[in-house]
């Protein structure tokens, strides 16, 4: 019997809490996006061998196939050999983590087909292909995945998370992603697989967002995964993995938190790019060298981050408690720029102080990120980005913006009134100041993993 189920997981925009989130004392706010990674399953019983094939048809040579001897995984950590010698560390790591965890006895022929929304990668040299019902369209590239430029939405986290849930569902036809413990299991397994593939333990915010959606996130203790990967006796690996996934409290926070209705996130991809690990090592080196100064800065920045979360939550509450007033507030936002609203505040002519609160929170975050930039020498909000973000404050309907995540020359994220999204994209097009920015066609979609309707993918698989 062939069974098709399709799961998807979102990409991320890291709005507040970069660097601080590496330390479990601090929380971060990460927004899940409408660009998602999808994994479609096909599973059949087999007799003497298990074959798992992962296809990623949007990319040249996007197929990795493994003939697997299950006895290797009995209590063990085992490595996989792709049949044509092709490498995809994230695919390999996810399959081997799931097999070590499940230690299956029965053989299956499993094919998982991956579809990634166009926001994840540059669309240069690609052609669209749609499902029969035209509800899904994906870009097909002429180059292999490793040669296509990324936009920074966390493609590997999306891949690992959607592949994890898809593979688990092949071994458990009743698996229900709406079940909270199942979701947590997927998260834990995906974090392990992602860290092992990367060869390092980051804060895990991207996998957590891919799993749970838009959240306020607090990380797990890195020793959870470092201890697992340090196990030298391979025969102890499975037991330790099961304990870690099913019996250990990871003490993460993943509180749902999303943008208030009528306020949208707009992400601008910047020509250029930055390497997150280099920025991180500079920041951590300074933090170590300057414990007192850094504590003060971390505390101030964290207060600003949490204040953004809280003013956004206040707006969400207002939208529900007093919808009429909220509609007027949105109208006010859509007719003014951050600079105009700020001016009105200084002249005591402000109509909605809640809007000014968001503007101030964003500015305060930027102030401390700039201090971090100057102090550490890491180009987190370099001058070019400062100019750009300052310029967004003059756009009608814009509350201002930040450099997301690790910052640098990767992207900017701005918050805008829903009615102003199109106008802002159009009005900035010809402007010299915005010439390095390409607005991405995406928005917040707060859900984490969801199960999709296979009909929407007919004609593509
Ligand atoms: N659609 C996909 N199909 C197959 N593998 C993918 C896909 N998207 C991402 N990957 C894997 O993730 C890797 C990119 O990971 P990484 O460099 O960490 O980027 P990111 O910051 O986007 O996660 C790719 O080289 C590939 O191994
Ligand atoms: C610095 C960080 O706290 C945040 C980095 O956020 P980005 O969104 O910039 O991440 P990448 O997509 O991996 O480049 C590092 C971390 O938390 O792991």
| Of 414, 412, 402, nearest in space to 269 by CA | 412
| Of 232, 133, 182, nearest in space to 453 by CA | 133
pTM listed for this prediction: 0.97
CA of 366 to the centre of ligand 2 (A): 17
Strands 437-439 and 263-270: antiparallel
| Residue 379, pLDDT score | 97
Average pLDDT over residues 268-282: 91
Q: What is the CATH number of the domain that holds 24?
A: 3.30.230.10
Whether 225 and 198 map to the same domain: the answer is yes
Token pair of 98 as six digits: 């799931």
**Which ranges of 27-151 does DSSP label H, i.e. alpha helix?**
89-102
Query: Residue 77: is its pLDDT beyond 90?
Result: no
Query: What does the pLDDT look like over 289-338, one tens digit per residue?
Result: 999 999 999 999 999 999 999 999 999 999 999 999 999 999 999 999 99
Whether 211 and 355 map to the same domain: the answer is no
Q: Whose CA is nearest to atom 1 of ligand 1?
A: 116
Q: Is 280 in the pocket of ligand 2 (CB under 6 A)?
A: yes
Whether 81 and 216 map to the same domain: the answer is yes
Average pLDDT over residues 442-459: 97
| Atom of ligand 1 lying closest to residue 56 CA | 3
Q: Is 405 in the pocket of ligand 2 (CB under 6 A)?
A: yes
Query: Are the C-beta atoms of 390 and 434 separated by less than 8 Å?
Result: no
Q: Which ligand is nearest to the CA of 61?
A: 1
Pocket test for ligand 1, best of 33, 156, 274 (most atoms within 8 A of CB): 156
Kindly state whether residue 237 falls inside one of the protein's structural domains. yes
Whether 222 and 294 map to the same domain: the answer is no
Question: What is the C-alpha radius of gyration for the chain, rounded to an integer number of angstroms?
Answer: 23
Kindly state whether residue 35 falls inside one of the protein's structural domains. yes
Whether 223 and 322 map to the same domain: the answer is no
Query: What does the pLDDT look like over 94-153, one tens digit per residue?
Result: 999 999 999 999 999 999 999 999 999 988 999 999 999 999 999 999 999 999 999 999
Whether 25 and 105 map to the same domain: the answer is yes
Whether 271 and 226 map to the same domain: the answer is no
Kindly state whether residue 59 falls inside one of the protein's structural domains. yes
Q: Which ligand is nearest to the CA of 405?
A: 2
- Tell me the pLDDT band of 272, cut-offs 50, 70 and 90: confident
Whether 68 and 203 map to the same domain: the answer is yes
Pocket test for ligand 1, best of 159, 269, 410 (most atoms within 8 A of CB): 159
| Residue 211, pLDDT score | 98
Whether 127 and 156 map to the same domain: the answer is yes
| Residue 40, pLDDT score | 98
Whether 393 and 409 map to the same domain: the answer is yes
Whether 139 and 29 map to the same domain: the answer is yes
Kindly state whether residue 36 falls inside one of the protein's structural domains. yes
Q: Which ligand is nearest to the CA of 158?
A: 1
Q: For the chain, what percentages of helix, strand and coil (3-state, to nearest 5) are there? A: 45, 20, 30
DSSP codes, 90-122? HHHHHHHHHHHHH---S-EEEEEEEEE-GGGB-
Whether 199 and 317 map to the same domain: the answer is no
Average pLDDT over residues 374-389: 97
- The number of folded domains in the chain is 2
Kindly state whether residue 1 falls inside one of the protein's structural domains. no
**What ipTM is given for this predicted complex?**
0.98
Query: What does the pLDDT look like over 181-195, one tens digit per residue?
Result: 999 999 999 999 999
Residues with CB under 6 A from ligand 1: 56, 88, 90, 114, 116, 145-146, 150, 154-157, 159
| Atom of ligand 2 lying closest to residue 204 CA | 18
| Residue 2, pLDDT score | 66
| Residue 72, pLDDT score | 83
Percent of the chain scoring above 90 in pLDDT: 92
| Residue 74, pLDDT score | 75
Kindly state whether residue 136 falls inside one of the protein's structural domains. yes
| Residue 350, pLDDT score | 87
Query: Residue 76: is its pLDDT beyond 80?
Result: no
| Atom of ligand 2 lying closest to residue 205 CA | 17
CA of 26 to the centre of ligand 2 (A): 15
Q: Is 203 in the pocket of ligand 2 (CB under 6 A)?
A: yes
CA of 94 to the centre of ligand 1 (A): 12
Kindly state whether residue 149 falls inside one of the protein's structural domains. yes
| Residue 3, pLDDT score | 67
Q: What is the CATH number of the domain that holds 390?
A: 3.30.70.890
Kindly state whether residue 205 falls inside one of the protein's structural domains. yes
**Which domain, by its residues, includes 404?**
263-439
Average pLDDT over residues 383-406: 97
Query: Are the C-beta atoms of 35 and 119 separated by less than 8 Å?
Result: yes
Query: What does the pLDDT look like over 217-249, one tens digit per residue?
Result: 999 999 999 999 998 877 789 999 999 999 999
Query: What average pLDDT is seen over the chain?
Result: 95
């Amino acid at each position: 019997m062939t069974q098709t189920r399709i799961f998807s997981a979102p990409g991320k925009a890291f709005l507040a809490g970069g660097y601080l989130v590496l330390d479990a004392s601090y929380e971060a706010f990460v927004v899940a996006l409408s660009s998602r990674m999808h994994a479609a399953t096909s599973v059949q019983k087999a007799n003497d061998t298990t074959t798992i094939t992962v296809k990623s048809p949007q990319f040249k040579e996007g197929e990795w196939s493994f003939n697997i001897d299950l006895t290797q995984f009995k209590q063990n950590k085992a490595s996989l050999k792709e049949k044509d010698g092709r490498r995809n560390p994230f695919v390999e790591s996810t399959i081997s983590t799931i097999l070590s965890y499940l230690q299956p006895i029965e053989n299956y022929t499993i094919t998982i087909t991956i579809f990634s929304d166009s926001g994840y990668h540059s669309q240069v040299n690609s052609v669209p292909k749609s499902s029969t019902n035209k509800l899904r369209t994906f870009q097909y590239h002429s180059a292999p995945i490793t040669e296509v430029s990324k936009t920074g939405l966390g493609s590997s986290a999306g891949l690992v998370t959607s592949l994890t849930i898809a593979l688990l569902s092949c071994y458990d036809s009743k698996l229900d992603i709406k079940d909270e413990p199942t979701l947590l299991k997927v998260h834990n397994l995906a974090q392990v697989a992602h860290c092992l593939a990367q060869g390092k333990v980051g804060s895990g915010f991207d996998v957590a967002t891919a799993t749970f959606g838009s959240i306020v996130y607090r990380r797990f203790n890195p020793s959870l995964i470092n201890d697992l990967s340090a196990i030298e006796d391979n025969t102890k690996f499975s037991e330790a993995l099961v304990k870690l996934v099913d019996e250990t409290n990871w003490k993460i926070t993943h509180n749902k938190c999303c943008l208030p209705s009528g306020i949208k996130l707009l992400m601008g991809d910047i020509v250029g790019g930055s390497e997150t690990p280099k920025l991180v090592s500079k920041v951590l080196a300074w933090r170590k060298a300057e414990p007192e100064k850094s504590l003060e800065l971390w505390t101030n920045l964290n207060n600003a981050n949490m204040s953004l979360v809280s003013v956004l939550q206040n707006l969400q509450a207002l939208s529900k408690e007093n919808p009429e007033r909220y509609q007027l507030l949105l109208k006010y936002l859509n007719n003014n720029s951050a600079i105009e609203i700020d001016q009105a505040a200084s002249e005591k002519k402000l109509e909605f102080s809640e809007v000014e609160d968001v503007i101030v929170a964003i500015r305060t975050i930027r102030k401390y990120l700039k201090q971090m930039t100057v102090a550490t020498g890491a180009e987190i909000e370099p001058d070019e980005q400062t100019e750009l973000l300052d310029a967004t404050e003059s756009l009608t309907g814009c509350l201002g913006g930040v450099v997301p995540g690790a910052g640098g020359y990767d992207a900017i994220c701005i918050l805008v009134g829903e009615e102003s999204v199109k106008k802002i994209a159009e009005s900035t097009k010809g402007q010299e100041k915005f010439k390095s920015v390409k607005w991405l066609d995406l928005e917040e979609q707060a859900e984490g993993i969801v199960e999709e309707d296979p009909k929407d993918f007919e004609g593509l698989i």
